[in-house]
Amino acid sequence: MPLNRFRLPPKGTLIPSNSDDPLRYYYLPLVGRLYVSRINIATGLIQNQFFEKTLEIGYGSGVLIPTLSKISDEVYGVDLQSNPETVSQLLAKLDCYPKLSYGVPDRLLFDDNTFDLIVAISVLEHIKEIRSFLEEIHRVLKPGGQLLVGMPAVNKFMDYLFQAIGFSGIEAHHVMSPEEMSLASQGLFKLEKSAHMPGFLPSNTYLYKSFCFRK
CATH code assigned at 83 = 3.40.50.150
In a domain? residue 63: yes
* 3-state DSSP percent of the chain in helix, strand and coil, to 5: 35, 25, 40
Angle 132-197-35 (CA atoms, 0-180°, nearest 5)? 80
Domain total of the chain:
1
What domain range is 55 assigned to? 23-214
In a domain? residue 32: yes
**What pLDDT is stored for residue 171 in this prediction?**
47
**What pLDDT is stored for residue 204 in this prediction?**
65
Q: What is the residue-wise DSSP string for 7-27?
A: -PPPTTSS--SSTT--GGGGG
Q: Yes or no: say if 39 and 121 are a contact pair by the CB < 8 Å rule.
A: yes
Q: Which residues of the chain have pLDDT under 50?
A: 169-172
- E strand or H helix at 198, and its extent? none
145 phi and psi angles, rounded to 5 deg: -70, 165
In a domain? residue 34: yes
**What pLDDT is stored for residue 66 in this prediction?**
97
What's this model's pTM, rounded to 2 decimal places? 0.89
92 phi and psi angles, rounded to 5 deg: -60, -30
Dump pLDDT digits (tens) for 124-170.
987 888 999 999 999 999 999 999 999 987 655 555 555 555 555 44
* DSSP designation for 44: G
* H helix count then E strand count, the chain: 7, 7
In a domain? residue 157: yes
**What pLDDT is stored for residue 19 in this prediction?**
84
Query: Which strands form 99-102's sheet, in the order they lie side by side?
Result: 99-102, 72-79, 51-57, 115-121, 141-152, 208-214, 190-197
In a domain? residue 17: no
In a domain? residue 3: no
**What pLDDT is stored for residue 86 in this prediction?**
98
**What pLDDT is stored for residue 153 in this prediction?**
76
In a domain? residue 2: no
In a domain? residue 9: no
Q: What is the residue-wise DSSP string for 116-161?
A: EEEEEES-GGG-SSHHHHHHHHHHHEEEEEEEEEEEE--SHHHHHH
